[in-house]
Structure 1
Amino acid sequence: MQPNYYLDIRILDSADDGELTLTHLRNQIYSIVHGVFRKMPEKFALALETSPRQQRKMQVKEAKYNYPITQNYDVLRIFATEQNDLDQLIESIKGHWKIRDYAVLNHPIAVPMAKVTGWRSYFRFRIPTLKSERNVAEKAESRRARRLKEAKQLPYFKVISQSTEQNFTVTIQMVNATEHIQGKPDGYGLARKSQPFTLPVFEA
């Protein structure tokens, strides 16, 4: 796909209780968006951004506690080749009460190529299972432990499997690039290792 147009969904976090943290709301809103991704495969690519409001909140926390705060992403930036696809996405999700109460939907607009400062790929960060490498258990355990440690520093979504109805985690790895590469997104809106693609980086 060619990322010609984009839509920002800004998540409105609240500190009221555990059910309204930014991470929790991001998971819930992504689940709603992911449902449309499944119905319209390979139409949308996902990027994560931090709004100026969230950046200010992080700066306040860093000054208060005197240690770096892990980047917290409150914007789901969704790219598509055609504006009409993003219009359909909005029509599909705007009536959901979680979208109405805890998100701000911007209108789809063309990517401002003059403001693009770089390119970035978003991959699913996979953690190997011990079962998959049973013959080299010690080596597998070491690699798995290292990947689990890395994953703790990365953003993630909690997703419910359509086939088993079990919860699982989709951890996101971001890789900066120097040029635009075209490819087809997977069912999560992410790039595949076998077919990477890049999305433009810019300030909205």
Structure 2
Amino acid sequence: MQANFYIDIRILDSADDGELALPHLRNQIYNIVHGAFRELPERFALALEISPRQQRKMQATELKYGRKPSNQYDILRIFSAEKNELEQLIENIKSHWKIQDYAVLSQAALDVPTAKITGWKSYNRFRIPTLKMERNLPSNPEQKTLHQRRLEIARRLPYFRVKSQSTGQLFTVPIDIRDVELSDTKDMGNGLPDSYGLARQTQPFALPVFEVI
């Protein structure tokens, strides 16, 4: 995945809970983006970032309650190798009323500022083994199952609630975000993103980290 260009979608949350809370709006906006991803598969890679405004809110929450809140990602940052693909993505989603009412969308695709890159991260779907798979694994009744352990981890991760095209059912996609140490940008991987914009285990890649404006 060559992350040459990017756009940002900043989500405008206006409540601490309910339908205008950040997690709910993030899911709503992402599902619009996910639909556009399906039209041009394997072209777009997704990163999650936190705006300066959201960072200040998190700091205020920590001061008020004396504990560090979970990361509140309010930026969907989308990368592509080609500028025209991101321009087409903007055209496909900019007129949706939820984008217009609850998000700030980049007006044009931007060059990745290579001189300002501060790190690299990988974004993968966090897998939870099904209970059916668990039955085929050796177990210790005194220990939690792999399913239980992975489920506990998943509850602490950012996630999307995605609607299946085939069945119409909603399911959860937890996002595993990891820092990647790169000795050379050639080591960032050439894998292609899946339909969610995430790296596959068999096709890894890392995305650049740089300041949210």
Shorter-normalised TM-score: what interval?
over 0.9
Alignment of 1:202 with 2:205, yes or no, is no
Q: Which ranges of structure 2 fall in alignment gaps of 5 or more residues?
A: 183-187
Partner of 1:37: 37
Partner of 2:115: 114
Greater shift after overlay, 9-18 or 185-194? 9-18
Q: Normalising by the residue count of structure 1, what TM-score does the alignment of the two structures yield?
A: 0.96
TM alignment of 1:71-82, pairs within 5 A = 71-82=71-82
Partner of 2:157: 154
Task: Look up the equivalent residue of 1:104 and give its one-letter code.
Answer: V
Q: Normalising by the residue count of structure 2, what TM-score does the alignment of the two structures yield?
A: 0.92
Partner of 2:170: 167
Task: Look up the equivalent residue of 2:130 and give its one-letter code.
Answer: T
**Offset, 1:153:** 1.1
SS at structure 2 position matched to 1:149: helix
Partner of 1:188: 196
Alignment of 1:49 with 2:49, yes or no, is yes
**Offset, 1:134:** 1.5
Q: Is the 8 A contact 1:116 1:201 kept in 2?
A: yes
**Offset, 1:108:** 1.3
Task: Look up the equivalent residue of 2:139 and give its one-letter code.
Answer: E
Structure 2 CA distance, aligned partners of 1:158 and 1:141?
26
SS at structure 1 position matched to 2:28: helix
Partner of 1:8: 8
Partner of 2:180: 177
Structure 2 CA distance, aligned partners of 1:78 and 1:64?
33
Q: Which ranges of structure 1 fall in alignment gaps of 5 or more residues?
A: none
TM alignment of 1:15-34, pairs within 5 A = 15=15, 18-34=18-34
Q: What is the number of equivalent residue pairs in this alignment? A: 204
CA deviation vs aligned residue, 1:179-200 (integer Å, no higher than 9, x gap):
2222100000000001100100
**Offset, 1:141:** 5.8
**Offset, 1:123:** 0.2
SS at structure 2 position matched to 1:67: coil
Partner of 1:143: 146
Residues 74, 16 of structure 1: alpha-carbon distance in 2 compared, 3 angstrom cutoff? closer
Q: Is the 8 A contact 2:134 2:145 kept in 1?
A: no
Greater shift after overlay, 183-192 or 14-23? 14-23
Q: Is the 8 A contact 1:122 1:173 kept in 2?
A: yes
SS at structure 2 position matched to 1:14: coil
**Offset, 1:135:** 3.1
Q: Is the 8 A contact 2:134 2:146 kept in 1?
A: no
Q: Is the 8 A contact 1:191 1:197 kept in 2?
A: yes
Partner of 1:60: 60
**Offset, 1:136:** 3.3
